[in-house]
Structure 1
Amino acid sequence: MNLTTNITVTAPANFEVSLTSGSGFGASVIVTQSGGIAASTTVYARLVAGLTSNPYSGDVTASSTGATDKTVNLSGTVSPAVPQITISGFVGDLNYTEGSGPSAEDSFTVEGLFLTTDITVTAPTNFEVSLTSESGFGASVMVAQAGGTAPATTVYVRLAASLTTNAYSGDVTASSTGATDQLLTINGNVFPTPTCANEGDIIITEVMQNPAAVSDGSGEWFEVYNTTGAPIDMLGWTIKDDTSASETYTIATSVVVPANGYVVFGNNADSGTNGGVTVSHQYSGISLGNGTDGLIIECSSTTIDNVIWDNGATFPDPNGASMELSTTTLNDTSNDVGTNWAAGTTPFGAGDLGSPGLVNNFVLSTNNFETNNFKLYPNPTSKGFVNISSNNSAAMKVTVFDVLGKQVINQMISNKRLDVSSLNTGVYIMRVTQDNTFITKKLVIR
């Protein structure tokens, strides 16, 4: 009180003041007086930015003409910046078949702030890392920092070569002096060398791509059949989507398909939540599309069987029922033809229709051309035609499908010659019907 001028509040060196919380800071502020009186006023103080690590102190001074200065001591400390490391990204399983390692690589990123030393990235046992794709792999790499900052850097990781069949797991560790270590868990598998069967020894005979009792993510499954008289172990074989390279699954445990018997693969082995299916082996990473999609079964890059359905064009397209292959067409050629499949009709489990793990209910006519001395020649052909003959002189209905199940020829012939000049080089499926008999054959165009 009794002031003749406003009060000036001055911050000491390395501090600043303001009359507003959170803003307006500077070296000094003015507290106004009116009639010689300055009302009680809050003054905010803080350390200025950009100071180095150190303790700081000084006196705030309040002054006005003719008045005795008043001071308030301020003190503060700038602590050293804590070094920080960040690991970002997801690494999928790193797999290979015994004797064929190392695995394909995957990658993640490492970066850091307030560092005093470079970042060391160390691979867990049985894995290796590199800063260069496809080369330079070893037990650890150094991510350089400059001025305390290490920019985001890609680190490649893979499962090391020469490992035996097993599952492997461990943590990649990123470390730097004073920083908390950062970890990234990685997994990998070395699969046993598979024992491969011949093409067509295992075939796909039933597919549930669109269950109704449960969601697709809980109840998709497919069935395979062993066409031979001896059991076949599918350990180490691969299940693949026909178009999506990311949808690949390797069978890492023994799955024995009995002689002339069935095995069911599913995305969920819990019969309480999968619609009531008894699943012999649970796969992951494979989806069975409700439209056009397909499955491939491989062993050491050899296709044992594949089926591609076509959104109802020739294959059935049921909801809440499986697609079943006729029991009269149990071979890897006939299961390429959509008309050899039908929707399941037998209720199972939670109410969907199908026959998982059992003989299918769908049976095409067992009449065939063998009794009529059927002949197809030349096959393979490069002449633009094939001859089709039998002991029956009646007209023939000929339907030809490509490997995707698309119908490319559909016509009646009476001269026993079919024009195939419109077909590109490749493999096709031909179905010939005459009176009440039919036969399905593979046609090769050269």
Structure 2
Amino acid sequence: MKKLYFLLFALTACFTFGQNIAVNGGFETWSTGVLGTWSSESGTTITQETTTVAEGSFAANFEVTTASQGDTDFRQSISVVAGVVYNVSVQIYQLDNGSRARLYAGDYRNYSDESLLNQWQTVSYEYTADATGDVEFGLRFYDISANFTGSSVMIVDDFRVEAQTTPSIAVLSPADNSTVVSGDVDIELSIQNFIVANGTGDGHIHYTVDGGGIVMKYDTDPISLTGLADGEHTVDLELVNNSHASFDPAITTSVTFTVSSVTQVADLAALRADVATNGTGGFYEIMSTPTITYTRTNRNQKYAQDTSGTGILIDDSAGTITTTFAIGDGISGLVGQTSEFNGVLQFVPSADASVAVGATVTPEVVTIATLLTNWEDYESKLIQINQATFFDAGSSFAASADYDLMDTSSRGGVSIINFRTNFAEADYIGETIPSGANDIVVFVGEFGGSPQVTARSLTDLTLSRVNFNANNEFNIYPNPVTNGTVNISSSSNEAIKVAVYDILGKQVLNNTLTNNTLNVSSLNSGVYILRLSQNNNTVSKKLIIK
């Protein structure tokens, strides 16, 4: 009785937490104006704040200078213990409503309220570690498109990660609101600061399945549920004392998951057909052996396509596939769930897969005109576009940037598609954009309802090259044009054939120059494409008319 009284007192008196394990979470440590122990990206400028602080002597002043939230992460790696519940919190002081902060605790969590200006607000999240190891904690900053003017400022202070030291019960697996592919499910538990035993410990566990009768459990082994029907199921759990009574406050948790049967499909084409009919969210087993065409460390992504001529993006942020795959390997035993991100169908694996013999993948030759009308047929597939030209040839590729790519596949004009540098690890980032017309190999993707393409490597962008020699480079001036005339010259004396296209690909002028002067006074203000030919060489340039 004495022991029970003490435990009840400890539980009802207050909730206690451990020491803040975030290093420099109060932002007190700076070295020559640089904040210590945290990593940050180029989309924010961090300075020491000495006037507006939530605790201590200093805070961190964040100026958000980009609308690309992927360039604003602010993080620190912290060691956690499986099953332990951590209270994560940060103080935010919004100086304007042009951006907001989002808490990161193993994933992106809760946002600050951009409407609460000139006052401290707390953004918090209760994080349960599902494994022992290092987990990243921090912030990401998002522009508010209606209010963002290219710069937004907020002050951040008192970032805390604290382990709870009160008794707790948590479900490690399956994840809440997840889908499992079998009616036999093990509920894995984590009990902290509480001894589960029959009469000799602090108490035991009561649980129910789908609101049924109470089951008493005197150990912390997984709860094995068998024969669950397809559909949603909820398991409620509570720590109780040795007399089966609840504590005050009650120590409870629950998990809700959905059981879904696996559909076997012959190949990736059949997978896409079934998703087109039934939507995303189903679980599938792919009976073919797709060939890996690219692998990434980012989200453990893999691109694959099989002999049906269909491609898929495997998005494995959880690292479920632990087997190592290389380009050209076949992937066997692919099981998982379909989802969609920005219009792109993704396959999220639910089990590991094995390496098999891959098939030879020859990129299909496709024109931009075809992609513009039918890109979803080629989504995540490796294709080849012949005689493609970058408008920005000569400048350098930047990560997460857009570039106009064209070919002459439309009748009487040109076709233009967006080339997006989605692969920050690609060897062409920072390199010179190839000039002239090239046969290139790309993946087809989508963003916001529009197609885009991206390449794996610089080799994919320079399969064949048709370039001018140095003595045949063109000089185009003025550009932008303001007086209705543009001068086009090269070191060669040969005539220059000039075709001018509007941004929709319609040809609006076609001349052969002998005096290096092109009259464009009949054209409206806007952006145009110059297709220049001389000595059997052709190149495209961008022309702006004001």
Shorter-chain TM-score above 0.5? no
TM-score (norm: length of structure 1)? 0.32
- Of Structure 1 and Structure 2, the greater helix share is in 2
Greater relative CO, 1 or 2 (CA 8 Å, sep 6+):
1
- Of Structure 1 and Structure 2, the greater strand share is in 2
